[in-house]
Amino acid sequence: MKKIFLTACCYVFFTGSFAQTSNGYQCYPTNWWVGMKMNKIQVMVHGDKVADHFPMIKMGPKGTKLATGVNLMAITRVENPNYVFLDIAIDATAKPCKFNFPFLRDITIEYELKARRKNNGKDYAQGVTSRDFIYLIMPDRFSNGDESNDRIAGMRDQSLNRDTVFNRHGGDLKGVQNHLDYLQQLGVTTIWLNPVLENDMPDRTEHGYAFTDHYKIDARLGGDKAYQELIDATHAKGMKIIQDAVYNHVGLYHITVQDLPMKDWLHQWDHYTNTTYKDQVLFDPYASKKDVKQMVDGWFTRQMPDLNQNNPFVANFLIEHAVWTVENFGIDGWRIDTYAYNDLEFMNRCNKALMDEYPQLTMFGETWVHGVPNQSYFVQNNYNISFKSNLQASTDFQTLWGISDAMTKDFGWTDGVNNLYTTLAQDYVYKDPTRQVIFLDNHDMSRFYSVVNENMDKYQSALSWLLTSRGIPEIYYGDEIATTGTTNPNDGHVRLDFPGGWKNDAVNKFTIAGRTQTDQAIYQHLATLANFRKSSSALTTGKMMQYVPADGVYVYFRYDNKQTVMVIMNTSKTEKTIHFDQFTERTGGFSKYNDVIAKTSGDMNTIAVGSYQTKVLELTK
């Protein structure tokens, strides 16, 4: 690690000269489209002293014609002669075409404008809503569908060893595609993949969060072709796909770090400066400018240089890539990594560009913070404050802390399930709390099954809450079986392989035959609720009413004019008898219930709920 950082210092902090590349020239974005609302783009051209091939020309107000309806408006040289930035305007008369950039000396650079995808918002960029159920996958650890790409010659990380959590294991996009039927049968409607962009770092590349090329899908996952095939296959099954975005930082070996376009492409410091991770300073009325700067401009880790989104060239590079990805691959939404560490004005601009182009697209940000005021600051909210975020929603860490307390702490005035109740009582601060993505764990956190010490009742209760509360439920691959793992001593232990994803695995838990009795009990519980939820108007789009928890028992309802679902969560250490007439505001007019999970029914007099068990009841007349 120390050696890697020293290498980074040579490139990032030394400003006297720049590294040279090969004689190849690359354009970013690699192409564009006609008929886009974003009809003014900035193409970054990179190659060995490419600026020397462009003459110093000042364009007129109409620029220079490249093709019908396409004009070159500006040529900008920067500190590094290996880069040049070309501003292009594309009007409504432009047609799909290829053209060469003019004025070049000794070289030819061709660029293409393509025809747009059809059915924006219907066949792609559909967005996800509370009707959906998201399944998060780390591709390297899910399934190996193509062994030919396990190692790619020339890439820095040549590890391939499933006996250690620190190396690559060989999972790929074809492996995900091979199990779409499994996911659909489970009740999943949407797949969210950990980053799929090229991550050509020396080690720990399984997670994908240190990009080295924005315009390449990692070849070890199958490359662009495998990604497009997965997306097309997912859509063909009526499912959706979410891509993981990282705007805040890149990997040390990203082309723009190894060969900086300009010094202020990155946030530069006199010596290495880490972010404080203290989100509070962004809204603290008493915060110092020093603390704000370090929070936003400090590096997330030494291996992930922090991008300067106040640099207009950086901002254009990132925003254009986001739009390009949606149009090129046809994804349905974005999960945005480390949201609080970005320049928030930049994020508003980026989000707006995406929404202008794709009105149905979904974006939710990772906001690993503590407190509803903290979390809601980063999304569309009802506050009268100077900064107003346009982000639709976040990954809801606050309800995670609430359900965790409900399952692990004794009932008290603010403790146990009262924490969950109180958290949801603060939903008034959100513009639309139903867009919040609720979850139990992820690739950075201990498995919830381990959090509750493998207590089946607690785990199934948490799953029942996940699929019946407000918001968009999301699980992490393996949550549907008895998957254990904690982040102590290393987060790799929550990123274990899905059993059966490799052809020589001793067991295959994608099948009933390969699952233990415990696995199957969890799977059946989750699949029953998830598939019930698909056709439940109350659970997907209905209103919510919750009652103040009493003696460790938390009762809430999801309802509309077609259906009423009652959820009873007992977080006490003893069985409780619940009287339906305590909740006449919602139970009135009903006489019977159907237990969604147990597949039993009964009269609405009383019902016994065991310790740490949860009942999901559909009420009938």
419: enclosing H helix or E strand: helix 417-425
For the chain, how big is the Rg over CA atoms in Å?
26
Closest CA to 42 of 72, 22, 17: 72
- Contact present, 361 and 334 (Cβ < 8 Å): yes
- Contact present, 593 and 619 (Cβ < 8 Å): yes
Q: Please give the order of strands across the beta sheet that includes 97-100.
A: 32-33, 110-114, 97-100
Tokens representing 257?
């770090």
45: enclosing H helix or E strand: strand 40-46
Closest CA to 243 of 200, 197, 285, 203: 197
SS3 26: strand
- Catalytic positions, written as ranges: 337, 366
| Alpha carbon distance 254, 594 (integer Å) | 56
Where helices occur in 167-310 by DSSP H, the ranges are 173-177, 180-186, 223-236, 255-258, 289-297
Tokens representing 385?
């404050």
Report residue 493: phi and psi, to 5°: -80, -5
| Alpha carbon distance 287, 225 (integer Å) | 48
Closest CA to 465 of 366, 381, 519, 396: 396
Look up residue 102 and give its DSSP letter.
T
**Concatenated DSSP letters of 555-595:** EEEEE-SS-EEEEEEE-SSS-EEEEGGGGHHHHTT--EEEE
| Alpha carbon distance 30, 431 (integer Å) | 37
Burial 128-148 (b: 16+ CB within 10 A, else e): bbbbbbbbbbbbbbbbbbbee
Torsion of CA 14, 47, 257, 195, to 10 degrees: 180
The strand pair at 333-336 and 240-245 is best described as parallel
Tokens representing 38?
């974003």
Contacts of 16 (CB under 8 A, 6+ apart): none
Residues, the chain: 621
Tokens representing 580?
């339906």
| Alpha carbon distance 459, 80 (integer Å) | 55
Contacts of 90 (CB under 8 A, 6+ apart): 32, 34, 36, 39, 40, 41, 69, 70, 113
- Contact present, 11 and 258 (Cβ < 8 Å): yes
The strand pair at 437-439 and 472-476 is best described as parallel
Look up residue 441 and give its DSSP letter.
-
> What's the 3-state SS for 252-292?
CCCHHHHCCCCHHHECCCCCCCECCCCHHHHCCCCCCHHHH
